[in-house]
């Protein structure tokens, strides 16, 4: 899924999404995913307004939907994201050590973005990789299992992107 | 076909994400066969195969299909909705099915659509499964291009991170473009579901089991596993076990066989302390229950639920209070906020567990913890409220001494050596839209 | 319609027969049993089962059930907290959870004393609290608009307010943000909650989370009185309760008339009461003594009025507002027409009776299959609640058609639909008759411009039936009421008239040009009757004592000087009018919840309809301009600071197709031109507008006329 570059592009893509459903409102989640791509990984108020306009909904409604789901970000994020699952299966096999390693390596805590704006570090609930725990997700791609030893390499790789 | 594998059959040997490969093992042949049958006969076949839902509740799929009113009694079109929101902690089976055998899943969807005479299939896949979304979308495109859909269409819809959207009615609201919050039921989805039309909601694995029923025939299929619920299930084995992973086995495999034969035993030779048999939301088992067969009825008879057949192995390093706290933070984080007991109760449970865990709790807090569990149980709008207390209440009941020691000794008896010590949860990090701290310190 | 099947259910051991499918809450009430609720409110849509206050035990079901989501089925056996320990525990649990994070700041809460949460906690709740943790805290109170304050700590997340915004008024502005325990009620990016019906959420909120800013800290429930009356701000005539304290109106609430308003009010009706205290409110009679005015005593004023009237003789013209009561209009008519032979009047609007043949309660709109809205003026600006009925119809599956004028095709569709409703602002071109809307289930409504235009016309006509001969020049112009005083046509007449008497509430409206000014009163200060757009006669009641005697009392004294007998009591005046045009209904029978008179067969309809069609604008290039008086405008609204944000901005509404053709996007600044005038306005795209038409609030259309050019 590539990011729609222009506003017209975006509208076109949203129209295509709307056509997939008997009720076009169903396309709001897809439209939010697209808008987030277009706006550096998060949804500033203008993005919500853009979605509202394309979806013929109110910005308030769009915001209410967006704020319900964890994957829509309503505050600025870094260019890349690192997410660590700390739910039961991952926690039982050492997820916290991986979290600690990232904190060390990145110099920021969970929920924070590195000062250079490169990486947002986040914890997530069960990612569905429990059999390959601990699970780390880099820019929406799973790295599993990830051990504390893997962390410096991972960060270096991301910084190189 | 090896009798043990029906869902993942061939998926580990071949690249079944490709239509051609899937066709070489007979792929979409069952769809053709089903389409040659009257829709009622399709439902009857699934009913006779006694296929029970693999998404958690174990409801008979054939019966659910027969609840969908026939076309002449419908006021709006009927829909098939595949629940691919898999978010139950411990479960990762639907992910593997979609990533390695997407066409079998799609074939199942189309057979189900023929059965209930629907022309629209929606697959609601959790947002985090991006790779699986891409694989599945490609498979859908390929099948569409090959003309397999006929007059039916399949749309893959991406979620965006909300456990509650696995609950079928919340899923429908989410799919309709709203906040994913559960609806009161009745009416149930087969009568009033997506866009108000009759809707069949089934789990990925349930649907992916359908082609095998037609391939093997009811008689042979029902020979797999126990009589009450035949067939295979993909057990997701995780936690402190040597060989975690997905194991497709006949229903009714015992915990002992799963953990010690397939999973090669508890990791690092530790002692087994507890087993969660159906994903984090079900009551916990203790090692003396290792011989319980993992099928719907047996697990329930033993006081828990098979749920999504996600088995989490817990060894003797884990503090049960910490396990409870971590689990409860998940439910607090995922509570949708619609009904009172779940929204307020989960938060209160987290507060109580935190206090007990840090050693500041008193016997009163421990009693209250157990009582708040009872107050939530059975009163919420959907089962999430129940899930949020099945786990914690069972930890308290079965490991009461451990909870009591926290209170009496003013801290964790593991003294910082628990495998879960200091584990933080997403609800502890800065939230993306901070209006209030979920739990003030 | 067939009578619904009856089923027998048992609630707390009481057996009752109720219609099958009736809500369990209502069914239990029929058995005399209360099922307590918070989120349940059938007027805002299907039950959502969120708050869990209504948990009951149903025989055969293991788990407690949310009573609000159930309907009566034959043989159902239900136990509430009264007879079931399990249900009692369920309700106590719910309340405990609700109170876990509730601030319990009842002593300083405006809802205190009339709060469902207080009441239900008292009856069903735990006696103590087991919560020993810090409660959730939020910034508070947050003004979600100049009219409404939100206290998130008190909110119990019943979602009544958001459901109202999303599913009743359909403005989609008040929403829930976030998930789970962090969920809060909010607007988009802290923008004000703007809309015609926002205040209803205050009444819907079962706790003190949404409160009225103008009412904040104004009164405690035990100090107030609620006066049942009817709103006088538009022709719908919503039923209201005016809350008064020490003789002053402090708040206006809905007094649900299910056929008229369904329990909703618009923000104008709810919040405009502040005009009673306007800074330029007239208290004493004034006489022009250029360049100033001098205050007169009432005796002097009556003396002066008599003098002006006698001087003008019959060369008097009366300009009426349409906000007069039936009684006041009749009294004016009686004095001027019977007493002085001055028959000339400027009625607030032309009124016809032909639609009496298609009369039905407004609530009939909701059950229609087809609703045709004829005329280009926005319904919501003239008769806001009608818009809500139309929206309800659409939600129930009705088709809504907007058209500028009737066509043969529309006529056919109206004739063929089983339940068709026609709503007209302007001329219907005979459509209602030819489409046979006197069928059962069908109806036609004409939307007057003024609150009691119909009643005023009836009463003026009842006073005499001689033909007016329009005096030239006008000896005396009597301007009755502020709307007439604000009317540019009336102002123009005043310029021509030799003398002017104005009766009004606000000095700034009449001060520069009237010779004699008599203080007037508001509908909240009068007794009498109004006729709403359905033709329903309704009682309005004095809620607040006016600062000056009301008009009827003054007229009664003035009339005595001309030996015309007019009672100062509305009841007696009404009986006179009623004998002439309302079939002799006695005043006392108009009642607190007035019924609708029966339909009048078309053959017996009084008088003929005036031509009220939109002035045909010659065909030509450009778009046809429609201007309208916005709901949030007029003398009362102008005097309420908190309502100013609701006034429409300088906007032009365009049909989507036209906008596309002209390459205009929503929100863009455009130029609108007609013969020499050019205005800069913000474009807003509308689905309801017919192509070829543009719509502008009259206060932003100064100088524009006829056909206009629009460009980006
Ligand atoms: C809180 C909650 C979460 C759920 N999550 C899932 C899920 O992720 N996947 C799933 O298939 N079913 C989930 N379910 C169960 C569904 O509601 C539903 O029973 C199921 O999709 C039906 O499919 P099946 O009959 O094939 O099992 C969940 C239920 C609850 C109450
Ligand atoms: S503000 Fe009032 S009406 Fe709205 S959700 Fe909260 S308690 Fe309910
Ligand atoms: S009144 Fe029934 S759940 Fe709220």
ipTM of the complex: 0.95
Q: How far is the CA of C185 from the centre of ligand 2 (A)?
A: 7
Q: Which of A65, A69, A73 is nearest to A27 (CA)?
A: A65
Over residues B317-321, the mean pLDDT reads 97
| C572-608: pLDDT as tens digits | 999 999 999 999 999 999 988 899 999 988 888 766 5
Per residue in B201-212, pLDDT (tens digit) is 999 999 999 999
pLDDT on residue C354:
86
Q: Can you give the pLDDT at residue C682?
A: 96
Contact flag A123-B424 (C-beta cutoff 8 Å): yes
Residues B259/B239, Cβ–Cβ less than 8 Å: no
Mean pLDDT of chain C: 93
Instruction: List the single range of B281-285, C113-117, C608-612 with lowest mean pLDDT.
Output: C608-612
Distance of CA B395 to the CA centre of its chain: 21
Partners of C589 in the beta sheet?
A: none
| C55 touching chain B per CB within 8 A | yes
Cβ contact, residue pair B423, A86, below 8 Å: yes
Residue B345 has a CB neighbour count (10 Å cut-off) of 30
Of C47, C48, C55, which has the smallest distance from its Cβ to B379's Cβ? C55
Give the whole-number percent of chain C exceeding pLDDT 90.
81
CA nearest neighbour of C364 among C288, C306, C444, C484: C444
Averaged pLDDT for residues B164-178: 98
| Over residues B114-142, mean pLDDT | 98
**Rg, C-alpha atoms of chain A:** 17
CA of A155 to the centre of ligand 1 (A): 36
Q: Which residue of B has its CA nearest to C87?
A: B379
Q: Which of C638, C636, C667 is nearest to C654 (CA)?
A: C667
pLDDT bucket at C314, cuts 50 / 70 / 90: confident
**Which pLDDT belongs to residue C376?**
85
Residue A48: closest C-alpha in chain C: C188
Question: pTM for this one?
Answer: 0.95
State the pairing for strand pair C6-11/C77-79.
parallel
pLDDT tens by residue, C641-699: 999 999 999 999 999 899 999 999 888 999 999 988 999 999 999 888 888 999 999 99
**3 state DSSP class of A91:** helix
pLDDT band at B2 (very low <50, low <70, confident <90, very high): very low
Which candidate in B128, B394, B422 is best for mutational testing of the A interface (most A CBs within 10 A)? Answer: B128
Please tell me which chains touch B, using 3 or more CB pairs under 8 Å as the contact test.
Answer: A, C
| Residues B379, C93 contacting (CB under 8 angstroms) | yes
Whether the per-residue pLDDT at C509 is higher than 90: the answer is yes
Nearest C-alpha in A relative to C162: A61
Nearest to C175 among A53, A63, A69 (CB): A63
* Residue C148 CB–ligand 2 contact under 6 Å: no
Q: Going edge to edge, which strands form the sheet with A80-85?
A: A112-113, A119-124, A80-85, A136-138, A141-143
For ligand 2, is residue C149 a contact (CB within 6 Å)?
A: no
Asked if C184 is an interface residue toward chain A (Cβ–Cβ < 8 A), one would say no
Tell me if chain B has a CB within 8 Å of the CB of C579: no
- pLDDT digits 0-9 by tens, C84-115: 999 999 999 999 999 999 999 998 899 988 99
Across chain B, what does the average pLDDT equal? 95
Percent of chain B with pLDDT over 90: 95
Note whether C189 contacts A63, CB cutoff 8 Å.
yes
**Chain B residues lying within 8 Å of C72, measured CB to CB:** none
The rounded radius of gyration (Å) of the Cα atoms in chain C is 28
Cβ contact (<8 Å) for A125 and B426? Answer: yes
For the segment B332-350, the average pLDDT, to the nearest whole number, is: 97
pLDDT at C613 over 50: no
Query: Which residue(s) pair with B239 in the sheet?
Result: B313
- The pLDDT of residue C331 is 97
Among A30, A96, A112, select the one facing B430 at the smallest CB separation: A112
| Gap from CA of C16 to ligand 3 centroid (Å) | 22
- Alpha-carbon distance of C468 to B183, in angstroms, equals 65
Instruction: In whole angstroms, give the CA distance from residue C372 to residue C365.
Output: 10
Residues A131, B161: C-beta atoms closer than 8 Å: no
> Is residue B54 in contact with ligand 1, taking CB distance under 6 Å?
yes
Residue B435 confidence (pLDDT) above 70: no
Tens-place pLDDT, residues C253-303: 999 999 999 999 999 999 999 999 999 999 999 999 988 999 999 999 999
- C616 pLDDT exceeds 60? no
**CA atoms of C658 and C624, how far apart (whole Å):** 12
Ranking B160-174, B312-326, C467-481 by mean pLDDT, the lowest is C467-481
**pLDDT at residue C612 greater than cutoff 50:** no
More confident residue, B357 or B429: B357
Residue A86 neighbours by CB under 8 Å, 6+ apart = A95, A96, A99, A123, A124, A125, B326, B423, B424, B425, B426
Determine if ligand 2 sits within 6 Å of the CB of residue C210.
yes
Answer whether residue B274 shows pLDDT above 90: yes
Q: At A31, is the secondary structure helix, strand, or coil?
A: helix
Confidence at residue C614, expressed as pLDDT on a 0 to 100 scale: 47
What pLDDT, on the 0 to 100 scale, is given for residue B394? Answer: 98
Interior angle at CA C99, CA C94 and CA C103, nearest 5: 160
Ligand 3 centroid, distance to C93 Cα (angstroms): 13
One-character DSSP codes across C470-497: --SS-SEEEEESHHHHH-HHHHHHHHHS
Query: Is the pLDDT score of C618 beyond 70?
Result: no
Ligand 2 pocket residue status of C264, Cβ below 6 Å: no
- What lies within 8 Å, CB to CB, of A101 at 6+ separation is A148, A151, A152
Tell me what the mean pLDDT of segment C343-356 comes to: 88
Find the residue in B nearest to A73 (Cα): B432
Rounded to the nearest angstrom, the distance between the alpha carbon of C163 and the centre of ligand 2 is 10
Which of B192, B195, B343 to mutate: most C Cβ within 10 Å? B343
What local confidence, expressed as pLDDT, does residue C128 receive? 82
Measured distance CA(C62)–CA(B378) in Å, rounded: 9
Q: Ligand 2, residue C204: give the atom nearest the CA.
A: 3
User: For B35-52, what is the mean pLDDT?
Assistant: 98
Q: For C65-80, how does the pLDDT look when each residue is reduced to its tens digit (9 = 90+)? A: 999 999 999 999 999 9
Using CB atoms, which residue from A20, A30, A131 is nearest to B238? A131
β-pairing verdict for B120-125 and B153-158: parallel
- Minimum CA–CA partner of A73 in chain C: C178
Angle, vertex CA B293, rays to CA B288 and CA B296, nearest 5: 120
pLDDT-derived band at B1, boundaries 50, 70, 90: very low
Q: What is the mean pLDDT of residues B327-331?
A: 98
C157 CB less than 6 Å from ligand 2? yes
Chains in contact with chain A (at least 3 beta-carbon pairs closer than 8 A): B, C
Q: Which of A128, A137, A139 to mutate to test the interface with B (most CBs of B within 10 A)?
A: A128
- Evaluate if residue C2 carries a pLDDT over 80: no
| Average pLDDT estimate for B135-162 | 97
Residues 6+ apart with CB under 8 A from C98: B340, B344, C38, C51, C53, C117, C156
Below-70 pLDDT ranges, chain A: 1
Name the DSSP class of C337.
Answer: I
- Distance (Å) from the alpha carbon of C22 to chain B's nearest alpha carbon: 15
Percentage with pLDDT > 70 across chain C: 98
Q: Look at residues B140, B125, B122 and name the one whose alpha carbon lies nearest to residue B28.
A: B140
**Backbone torsions φ then ψ of A34, nearest 5 degrees:** -65, -45
CA proximity to C266, closest of C313, C363, C201: C201
**Hey, whose CA ends up nearest to atom 5 of ligand 1?**
B166
Calculate the alpha carbon distances from C602 to A23, C436, C595 in Å: 44, 10, 21
As a three-state string, the secondary structure of C265-277 is CCHHHHHHHHHHH
Alpha carbon distance, N-terminus to C-terminus of chain A = 19
User: How many Å apart are CA B136 and CA B123, to the nearest integer?
Assistant: 10
């Amino acid at each position: 899924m590539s990011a729609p570059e222009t506003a017209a592009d975006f509208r076109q893509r949203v129209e295509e999404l709307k056509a997939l459903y008997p009720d076009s409102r169903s396309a709001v989640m897809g439209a939010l995913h697209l808008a987030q791509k277009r706006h550096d990984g998060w949804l500033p108020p203008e993005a919500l307004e853009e979605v509202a306009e394309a979806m013929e909904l109110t910005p308030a409604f769009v915001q209410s939907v967006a704020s319900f789901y964890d994957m829509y970000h309503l505050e600025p994020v870094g260019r890349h994201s690192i997410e660590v699952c700390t739910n039961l299966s991952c926690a039982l096999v050492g997820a916290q050590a991986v979290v600690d390693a990232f904190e060390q390596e990145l110099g920021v805590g969970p929920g924070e973005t590195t000062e250079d704006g490169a990486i947002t570090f986040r914890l997530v609930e069960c990612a569905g990789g429990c059999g390959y725990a601990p699970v780390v997700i880099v820019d929406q791609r799973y790295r599993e299992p990830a051990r504390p030893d893997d962390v410096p390499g991972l960060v270096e790789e991301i910084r190189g992107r | 076909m090896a009798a043990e594998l029906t869902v993942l059959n061939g998926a580990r040997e071949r690249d079944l994400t490709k239509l051609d490969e899937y066709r070489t093992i007979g792929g979409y042949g069952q769809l053709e066969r089903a389409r040659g049958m009257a829709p009622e006969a399709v439902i009857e076949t699934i009913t006779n195969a006694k296929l029970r839902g693999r998404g958690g509740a174990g409801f008979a799929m054939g019966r659910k299909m027969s609840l969908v009113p026939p076309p002449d009694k419908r006021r709006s079109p009927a829909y098939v909705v595949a629940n691919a929101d898999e978010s139950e902690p411990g479960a990762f089976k639907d992910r593997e099915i979609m990533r390695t055998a997407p066409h079998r899943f799609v074939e199942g969807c189309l057979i189900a659509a023929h059965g209930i005479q629907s022309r629209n299939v929606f697959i609601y896949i959790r947002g985090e499964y991006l790779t699986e979304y891409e694989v599945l979308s490609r498979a859908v495109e390929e099948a569409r291009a090959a003309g397999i859909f006929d007059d039916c269409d399949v749309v893959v819809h991406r979620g965006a991170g909300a456990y509650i959207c696995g609950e079928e009615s919340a899923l429908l609201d989410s799919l309709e473009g709203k906040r994913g919050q559960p609806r009161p039921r009745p009416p149930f989805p087969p009568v009033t579901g997506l866009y108000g039309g009759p809707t069949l909601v089934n789990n990925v694995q349930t649907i992916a089991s359908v082609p095998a029923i037609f391939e093997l025939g009811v008689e042979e299929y029902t020979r797999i596993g126990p009589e009450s619920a035949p067939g295979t299930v993909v057990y997701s084995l995780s936690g402190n076990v040597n060989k975690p992973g997905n194991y497709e086995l006949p229903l009714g495999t015992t915990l002992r066989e799963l953990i010690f034969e397939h999973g090669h035993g508890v990791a690092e030779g530790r002692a087994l302390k507890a087993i969660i048999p159906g994903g984090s939301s079900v009551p916990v088992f203790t090692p003396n229950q290792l011989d319980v067969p993992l099928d719907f009825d047996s697990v329930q008879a033993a006081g828990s639920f098979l749920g999504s057949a996600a088995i989490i192995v817990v060894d003797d390093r884990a503090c049960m209070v910490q396990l409870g706290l971590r689990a409860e933070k998940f439910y607090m984080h995922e509570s949708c906020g619609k009904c009172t007991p779940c929204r307020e109760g989960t938060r209160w449970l987290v507060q109580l567990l935190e206090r007990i865990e840090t050693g500041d709790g008193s016997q009163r807090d421990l009693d209250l913890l157990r009582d708040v569990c009872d107050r939530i149980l059975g009163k919420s709008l959907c089962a999430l409220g129940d899930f949020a207390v099945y786990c914690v209440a069972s930890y308290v009941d079965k490991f009461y001494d451990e909870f009591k020691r926290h209170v009496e000794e003013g801290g964790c008896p593991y003294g910082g050596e628990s495998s879960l010590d200091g584990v933080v949860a997403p609800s502890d990090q800065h939230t993306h839209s901070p209006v209030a701290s979920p739990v003030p310190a | 319609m067939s009578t619904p099947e009856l089923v027998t259910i048992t609630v707390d051991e009481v057996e009752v027969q109720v219609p099958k499918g009736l809500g369990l809450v209502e069914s239990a009430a029929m058995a005399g049993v209360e099922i307590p609720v918070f989120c349940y409110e059938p007027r805002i849509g299907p039950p959502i089962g969120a708050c869990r206050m209504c948990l009951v035990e149903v025989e055969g079901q293991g788990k407690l059930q949310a009573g609000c989501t159930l309907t009566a089925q034959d043989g159902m056996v239900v136990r509430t907290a009264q007879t079931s320990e399990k249900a009692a525990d369920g309700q106590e649990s719910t309340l405990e959870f609700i109170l876990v994070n509730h601030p319990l700041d009842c002593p300083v809460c405006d809802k205190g004393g009339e709060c469902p949460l207080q009441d239900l906690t008292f009856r069903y709740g735990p006696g103590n609290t087991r919560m020993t943790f810090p409660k959730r805290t939020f910034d508070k109170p947050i003004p979600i608009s100049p009219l409404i304050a939100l206290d998130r700590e008190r909110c119990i997340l019943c979602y009544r307010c958001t459901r109202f915004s999303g599913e009743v008024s359909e403005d989609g502005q008040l929403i829930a943000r976030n998930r789970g325990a962090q969920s809060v009620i909010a607007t988009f990016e802290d923008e004000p909650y703007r809309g015609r019906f926002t205040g209803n959420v205050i009444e819907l909120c079962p706790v003190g989370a949404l409160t009225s800013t103008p009412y904040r800290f104004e009164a405690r429930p035990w100090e107030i009185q609620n006066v049942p009356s009817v709103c006088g701000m538009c022709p719908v005539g919503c039923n209201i309760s005016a809350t008064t304290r020490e003789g002053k109106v402090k708040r206006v609430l809905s007094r649900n008339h299910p056929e008229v308003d369904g329990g909703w009010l618009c923000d104008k009706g709810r919040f405009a009461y502040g005009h009673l205290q306007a800074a330029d409110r007239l208290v004493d009679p004034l006489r022009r003594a250029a360049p100033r005015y001098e205050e007169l005593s009432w005796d002097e004023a009556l003396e002066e009025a008599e003098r002006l009237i006698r001087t003008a003789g019959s060369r008097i013209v009366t300009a009426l507002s349409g906000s007069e009561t039936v009684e006041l209009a009749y009294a004016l008519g009686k004095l001027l027409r019977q007493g002085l032979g001055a028959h000339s009047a400027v009625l607030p609007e032309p009124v016809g009776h032909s639609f009496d043949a298609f009369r039905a309660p407004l609530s009939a709109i909701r059950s229609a299959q087809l609703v045709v809205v004829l005329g280009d003026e926005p319904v919501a600006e003239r008769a806001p609640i009608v818009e809500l009925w139309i929206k309800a119809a659409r939600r129930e599956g009705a088709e809504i058609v907007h058209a500028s004028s009737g066509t043969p095709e529309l006529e056919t569709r109206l004739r063929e639909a089983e339940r068709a409703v026609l709503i007209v602002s302007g001329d219907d071109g005979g459509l209602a008759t030819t489409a046979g809307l006197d069928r059962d289930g069908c109806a036609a409504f004409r939307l007057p411009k003024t609150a009691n235009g119909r009643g005023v016309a009836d009463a003026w006509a009842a006073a005499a039936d001689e033909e007016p001969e329009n005096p030239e020049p006008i000896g005396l112009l009597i301007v009755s009421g502020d709307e007439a005083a604000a009317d540019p046509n009336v102002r123009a007449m005043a310029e021509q008239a030799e003398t002017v008497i104005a009766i009004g509430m606000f000095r700034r409206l009449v001060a520069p040009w009237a010779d004699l000014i008599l203080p007037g009163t508001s509908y909240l200060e009068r007794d009498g009757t109004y006729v709403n757009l359905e033709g329903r006669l309704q009682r309005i009641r004095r809620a607040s004592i006016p600062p000056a005697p009301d008009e009827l009392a003054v007229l009664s004294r003035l009339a005595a000087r001309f030996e015309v007998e007019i009672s100062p009591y509305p009841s007696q005046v009404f009986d006179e009018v009623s004998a002439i045009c309302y079939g002799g209904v006695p005043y006392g029978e108009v009642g607190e919840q007035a019924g609708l008179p029966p339909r009048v067969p078309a053959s017996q309809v009084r008088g003929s309809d005036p031509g009220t069609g939109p002035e045909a604008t010659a065909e030509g290039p450009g778009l046809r301009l429609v201007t309208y008086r916005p709901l949030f405008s007029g003398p009362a609204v102008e005097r309420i600071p908190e309502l100013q944000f609701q006034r429409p901005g300088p906007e032009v509404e365009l049909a989507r197709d036209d906008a596309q053709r002209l390459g205009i996007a929503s929100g863009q600044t455009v130029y609108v031109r007609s013969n020499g005038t050019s205005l800069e306005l913000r474009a807003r795209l509308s689905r309801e507008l017919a192509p070829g038409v543009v719509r502008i609030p009259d206060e932003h259309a100064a100088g524009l006329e006829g056909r206009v050019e629009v460009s980006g």
